[in-house]
């Protein structure tokens, strides 16, 4: 877009938006507000914003002494811990770029990312050393490893070299640092897309992007100094969805769960209660199992002060209602992506619309991605790029434009096609916008099922399936069909107590309440688990491959 100069203002134009200032200023203004972090040994580490900032200045000094400087890329392999929080500010504040490494990616993909970014150092949690060790032989640009550990280096056994201890380099550094005034359009951090198709692609977020997103997040989700924010979303996913910055910006208490997986639901539940959490975040991939865990408890926690920001995929009504009924917690659906940051939309109650709903419609409405936050241009277009009406029916690809949306991928020849001439990012999501401006993602464009020239939404069908009491999880994909082009296939995981008690016909009958006869899946398969990608989404590409002959080989 052409930029037009107006009359000059009298502003301090040389003062740049700088993410590290968010903590520097936060420590000044909310010095005694608390940060809590669960350690690997199960104990809790507690300190304050002021303490954190002091360590961040030490970190900045120490990485400079490792010969890391402006423009260098530094890989980070870590859980959600207070040290990761420090790294969020300490590395980029010096002008280096924090390269967030998704610890669930395959080693081959990870080393590709490290090499593509030409990472100079890798910071790695002691519990994730095995990943660094596996990829190290292929990472030619890496000059050293900083191990995040409380142990002495001599007590660790690793073939990596040279290695440094995070705690040691911090304790040797002085707690004062003169932060450079980094140009705000310079890279703050890089995340790579998970790459379900093709190679992972790099998004290099500017300081400006992240700063604005933090402000937009805090303002739209009403995160305040009174809140306690529990950072459940992995901090290597889209900068932890921006929550750590938003919380710091307003001085909220912050809680990090440390290392956790689906076996630690009891611990997560305990933290929610014990720390008086009021805001948390997560994908249904973690929120659904969390609800299942809570469902089975004799004494269910009161989470009526908690709102969960739920993203990555559509929150099933059953999940939203379940949390509400069992714990009082509210689920707020939010939509974002690696390319567009976490908060593109938010589904909060708009008072002027509230009276328009009946109870059941309200729950259905909460499935929508929500209103588009101020700051972004969003449109839906057909295959020819023509903008579609906001009627809640017309399905088109969602295009995004705005100050914190990516305008390109880093060094990825051929990827230019994902951006339009007028500056929009093609999200790859198919969706509708209703007359009140609410976005609803129907499906990933490539996951929409085309049957006899008509579209079937796999997301809608999955949502309907998991609303059936017997069904724990479900995946719906389109499989090639000689007559109809594609026909839906449903994979279903039954709850233990319903196994052998449910028939496919019963499930079809349930679906028929919401779907037309021709939309119903030709096949329903009971499976033990649903295949997921490294970022926890249903791996539909692989599922389609596995079942590609199901309708053609008959």
Residues 36-55 touching its own copies, rule: CB under 8 A, are: 48
Among 43, 65, 171, 224, binds its own copies (CB under 8 A): 224
What gap in Å lies between CA 332 and CA 314, rounded to an integer?
A: 11
What minimum distance in Å lies between the beta carbon of 211 and its own copies? 9
* Residue 455 is a catalytic residue: yes
Q: In this chain, which stretch among 213-221, 305-313, 519-527, 546-554 interacts with its own copies, using CB under 8 A?
A: 213-221
Place of tokens 């399905």: 395
Site for its own copies in 482-521 (CB under 8 A): none
Residue with Cβ nearer its own copies (205 or 308): 205
From residue 295 to residue 334, what is the string marking binding to its own copies with x (rule CB under 8 A)?
----------------------------------------
Give every CB contact of residue 149 below 8 A, 6+ residues apart in sequence: 125, 126, 156, 165, 166, 167
- Residue 339 is among the residues annotated as catalytic for this protein: yes
Segment 236-265, which members bind its own copies (CB under 8 A)?
246, 248-251, 253
Taking CB under 8 A as the criterion, the residue among 106, 262, 297, 353 binding its own copies is: 353
Note if 193 is an active site residue.
yes
Which residue in 78, 80, 165, 206 binds its own copies (CB under 8 A)? 206
From the list 128-136, 205-213, 262-270, 521-529, the region that binds its own copies by CB under 8 A is 205-213
Of 42, 137, 162, 351, the one binding its own copies (CB under 8 A) is 351
Measure Cα distances from 104 to 36, 188, 450, 533 in Å. 25, 22, 32, 8
Could you say whether residue 347 binds its own copies (CB under 8 A)? no
* H or E segment to which residue 51 belongs: helix 49-65
DSSP β-bridge partners for residue 121:
74, 144
423 binds its own copies (CB under 8 A): yes
Where are the alpha helices (H) located in 409-503, listed in sequence order?
458-466
414 contacts its own copies (rule: CB under 8 A): no
Longest alpha-carbon distance in the chain: 74
Q: Which of 77-85, 231-239, 345-353, 485-493 is the region at the interface with its own copies (rule: CB under 8 A)?
A: 345-353
Three-state SS string over 355-394 comes to CCCCHHHHHHHHCCCEEECCCCEEEEECCCCCECCCCCCC
Choice among 450, 504, 508, 537 that is catalytic: 450
Enumerate residues 94-113 that contact its own copies by CB under 8 A. 95, 97
Cis peptide before 162 (omega within 30 of 0): yes
Query: Of residues 107, 389, 407, 469, which one binds its own copies by CB under 8 A?
Result: 407
- Which stretch in 128-136, 230-238, 371-379, 508-516 sits in contact with its own copies by CB under 8 A? 371-379
Catalytic residue among 193, 248, 278, 442: 193
Residue 254 and residue 469: Cα distance in Å, rounded? 36
Q: How many CB atoms lie within 10 A of CB 166?
A: 23
Rounded Cα gap, residues 269 and 290, in angstroms: 8
State which of positions 153-192 bind its own copies (CB under 8 A): 180-183, 185-188
**3-state DSSP call for residue 431?**
strand
CB of 199 to its own copies, least distance (A): 15
- Tell me the closest approach of the beta carbon of residue 202 to its own copies, in angstroms: 7
* Closest to its own copies by CB, 91 or 476: 91
φ, ψ of residue 440 to 5 degrees: the values are: -130, 120
Interior angle at CA 254, CA 338 and CA 46, nearest 5: 130
CB 360 within 8 A of CB 388: no
Alpha-carbon gap, residue 537 to 5, rounded angstroms: 44
Catalytic residue among 455, 523, 532, 542: 455
Least distance CB 369 / its own copies (angstroms)? 12
Phi, psi of 372 (to 5 degrees): -80, 130
For its own copies, the closer of residues 14 and 553 by Cβ is 14
Query: 450 an active-site residue?
Result: yes
As annotated, the active-site residues are 193, 339, 450, 455
């Amino acid at each position: 877009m052409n930029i037009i100069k107006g009359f000059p203002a009298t502003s301090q134009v040389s003062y740049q938006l700088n993410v590290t200032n968010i903590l520097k200023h936060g420590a000044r203004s909310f010095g005694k507000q608390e940060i809590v972090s669960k350690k690997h040994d199960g104990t809790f580490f507690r300190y304050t914003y002021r303490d954190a900032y002091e360590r961040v200045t030490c970190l900045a000094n120490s990485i400079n002494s490792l010969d890391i400087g402006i423009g260098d890329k530094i890989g980070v392999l870590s859980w959600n811990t207070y040290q990761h929080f420090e790294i969020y500010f300490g590395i980029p504040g010096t002008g280096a770029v924090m390269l967030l490494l998704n610890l669930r990616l395959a080693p081959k993909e990870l080393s590709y990312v490290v090499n593509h970014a030409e990472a100079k150092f890798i910071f790695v949690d002691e519990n994730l050393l095995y990943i660094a060790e596996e990829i190290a032989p292929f990472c030619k640009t890496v000059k050293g490893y900083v191990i995040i550990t409380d142990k002495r280096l001599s007590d660790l056994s690793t073939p990596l070299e040279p290695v440094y201890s995070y705690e040691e380099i911090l304790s040797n550094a002085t707690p004062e640092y003169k932060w450079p005034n980094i140009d705000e359009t310079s890279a703050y951090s890089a995340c790579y897309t998970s790459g379900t198709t093709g190679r992972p692609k790099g998004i290099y977020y500017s300081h400006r992007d992240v700063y604005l997103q933090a402000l937009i997040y805090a303002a739209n989700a009403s995160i305040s100094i009174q809140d306690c924010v529990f950072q459940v979303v992995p901090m290597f996913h889209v900068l932890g969805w921006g929550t750590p910055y938003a919380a710091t910006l307003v001085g909220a208490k912050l809680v990090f769960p440390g290392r956790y997986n689906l076996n630690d639901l009891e611990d997560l539940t305990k933290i929610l209660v014990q720390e008086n959490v009021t805001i948390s975040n997560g994908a249904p991939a973690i929120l659904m199992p969390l609800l299942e865990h809570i469902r089975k408890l004799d004494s269910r926690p009161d989470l009526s002060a908690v709102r969960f920001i739920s993203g990555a995929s559509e929150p099933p009504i059953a999940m939203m209602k379940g949390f509400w009924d069992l714990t009082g917690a509210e689920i707020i659906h939010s939509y974002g992506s690696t390319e567009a940051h976490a908060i593109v939309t938010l589904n909060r109650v708009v008072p002027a619309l509230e009276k328009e709903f009946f109870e059941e419609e309200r729950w259905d409405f909460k499935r929508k991605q929500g209103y588009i936050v101020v700051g972004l241009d969003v449109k839906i277009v057909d295959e020819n790029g023509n903008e579609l009406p906001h009627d809640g029916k017309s399905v088109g690809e969602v295009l995004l434009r705005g100050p914190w949306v990516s305008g390109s991928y880093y060094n990825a020849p051929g990827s230019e096609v994902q951006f339009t001439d007028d500056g929009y990012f093609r999200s790859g999501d198919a969706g509708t916008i209703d007359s009140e401006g609410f976005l609803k993602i129907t499906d990933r464009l490539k996951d929409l099922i085309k049957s006899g020239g008509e579209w079937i939404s796999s997301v809608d069908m999955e949502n309907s399936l998991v609303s059936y009491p017997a069904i724990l999880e479900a995946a719906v994909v389109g499989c090639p069909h000689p007559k109809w082009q594609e026909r839906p296939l449903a994979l279903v995981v039954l709850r233990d107590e319903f196994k052998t008690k449910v028939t496919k016909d019963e499930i079809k009958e349930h679906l028929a309440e919401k779907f037309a006869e021709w939309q119903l899946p030709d096949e329903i398969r009971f499976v033990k688990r649903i295949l997921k990608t490294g970022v926890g989404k249903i791996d539909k590409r692989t599922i389609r491959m596995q079942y590609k002959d199901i309708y053609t080989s008959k």
